[in-house]
Amino acid sequence: GGPASLSRFRGALVGAVLGDCLGGDFEGAEDVPLDRVLQHLQDDTRGDGTLQYSDDTAMLRCVAQSLLNRAGFDEQDMARRFAKEYSLAPGRGYGAGVIQVLKKLASPQLSDVYQPARAQFGGRGSFGNGGAMRAAPFALAFKNPAEVKRCSRLGATLTHSCAIGYNGAVLQALAVHLSLQGVLATPQEFINKLISEMEEVENDETARSDARALNESEFPFCTRLHKVKEMVERNSVSIEEVISELGNGIAALHSVPTAIFCVMHCLEPREGLPEQYGGFERTIAYSLALGGDTDTIACMAGAIAGAHYGVDSVPQTWQRCCEGAVEADSLAEHLHNMYHRTPSDG
């Protein structure tokens, strides 16, 4: 489909959910042989919806439902949905720290919904990738990139007050936004635009001081994106290099640029991946083969790749076995309607 087509919207949300469900089995694994990944992806004996989604999808659904229900960003509504979702299904594999925030957000006495996140980790806030893993719907709700940035940042700040946590969400939302517009067809333009957007986003005193406090470079996401650009240009990169240069962990800084690399690296056929695989399948298989935070890296890469290739590139067999794929498809359709109803500055 063309820019912002229904197929791209559906691909983005279905892709995110599939990445989460298919990646769940490998989360935390150190060495993931590609054979095991391919076997897992080719297993067609699974029943409908048997691969369950985790916190990534649970929170992404809350974001999409809140944006739709409120026709925009409403922090009180989104916070309430996160808290309710957690109280109804606490066993979805949430991060150890964020659970405290979700419990506090359930209190009817709470007036400042951003306060529990600010109290995390001795007041430093979380740098985990929990804000980024659920950021895709912001790109589907707003046309204007300034609104995508503003609302993805606020939505992440409900749980992640460290700049590296919420700026990871801004980067993921921008990547989905550009992919939805078809910019990934020109990979150089895609990465250059991400770098220039993040130069603006990270040019901020709080972002600088949060980076300094964590001994990171001044523009940490820009630094990583330059690495992504350099590694994409190198044609041959080993999995070990990707892990050591970009990371595969639970921190936003060690996973959002990695997910972007997975998508860009898999734009072309790759040795070891089946020839019959299209780009979406290659992206998911490659994300899983990195090990580490596989559900989340595949969820973020799946959203960017799904927005690029569209829903028809997502195998039906994969969609059938993943819990929540049908609901994601329907949420994407509603977001598509809302997006095309808003004026171009909205």
> Where in 229-288 is the site for ligand F2R (CB under 6 A)?
250
Q: Considering CB distances under 5 to 8 angstroms, the limit depending on partner class, which of Mg ion, ligand F2R, none binds residue 130?
A: ligand F2R
Q: Which of 22, 293, 328, 332 binds Mg ion (CB under 5 A)?
A: 293
Q: How far apart are CA 183 and CA 231, in angstroms?
A: 19
Q: To the nearest whole angstrom, how small is the minimum distance from the Cβ of residue 117 to ligand F2R? A: 9
Query: Residue 85: what residue type?
Result: E
Q: Which residues of 251-288 are buried (b: 16+ CB within 10 A; e: fewer)?
A: bbbbbbbbbbbbbbbbbeeeeebeeebebbbbbbbbbb
Q: Residue 130: which region, alpha, beta or left (left: phi > 0; alpha: psi -120 to 50)?
A: alpha
H or E segment and range at residue 337? helix 325-341
Question: How far, in Å, CA of 236 to CA of 339, rounded?
Answer: 39
Q: Site size for Mg ion, by CB under 5 A?
A: 7
Which is closer to ligand F2R, CB of 24 or CB of 306? Answer: 24
- Tell me which of 197, 210, 281, 295 binds Mg ion, using CB under 5 A: 295
Q: Which is nearer to Mg ion, 210 or 293 (CB)?
A: 293
Q: Could you say whether residue 54 binds Mg ion (CB under 5 A)?
A: yes
Residue 140 has which token pair?
A: 């589907």
The interface region with ligand F2R, picked from 41-49, 90-98, 224-232, 265-273 by CB under 6 A, is 90-98
Pick the binder of Mg ion from 9, 14, 17, 56 (CB under 5 A): 56
Q: What is the DSSP secondary-structure string of 28-47?
A: T-S---HHHHHHHHH---PP
Q: Which of 22, 162, 171, 246 binds ligand F2R (CB under 6 A)?
A: 162
CB-based contacts of 296: which residues, under 8 Å, 6+ apart?
20, 23, 27, 56, 129, 132, 133, 250, 255
Query: For the window 38-77, what string marks contact with ligand F2R as x by the rule CB under 6 A?
Result: ----------------xxx---------------------
Pick from Mg ion, ligand F2R, none: which does 324 bind, CB < 5 to 8 A by kind? none
User: Which tokens belong to 334?
Assistant: 């509603």
The owner of tokens 């590694």 is: 231
- Looking at residues 93 to 112 of the shown chain, list those that interact with Mg ion (rule: CB under 5 A): 93
Q: One symbol per residue from 94 to 133: x for binding ligand F2R (CB under 6 A), - otherwise; what is it?
A: xxxxx----------------------x--x-xxxxx--x
Give the residue with the Cβ less far from ligand F2R, 130 or 306: 130
Interface with ligand F2R in residues 281-300 (CB under 6 A) = 293, 295-296
- Rounded CA Rg of the chain: 18
**Count of CB atoms situated within 10 Å of the CB of 17:** 30
Residue 322: both structure tokens together: 């993943």
Q: Provide, rounded to whole angstroms, the least separation between the CB of residue 173 and ligand F2R.
A: 16
* Residue 127 binding: pick among Mg ion, ligand F2R, none (C-beta 5-8 Å cut-off by kind): ligand F2R
Q: State yes or no: residue 55 binds Mg ion (CB under 5 A).
A: yes
Residue pair 247/220 in contact by the 8 Å Cβ criterion: no
**Nearest Cα residue to 251 out of 20, 68, 97:** 97
Cα–Cα distance for residue pair 333/9, rounded to 1 Å: 7
CB of 251 to ligand F2R, least distance (A): 6
1, 49, 93, 145: residue in contact with ligand F2R (rule CB under 6 A): 93
Determine, following the binding rule CB under 6 A, whether residue 156 of this chain makes contact with ligand F2R.
Answer: no
In the complex, the residues that contact ligand F2R under the rule CB under 6 A are: 27, 54-56, 93-98, 121, 124, 126-130, 133, 162, 250, 293, 295-296
In the complex, the residues that contact Mg ion under the rule CB under 5 A are: 54-56, 93, 293, 295-296
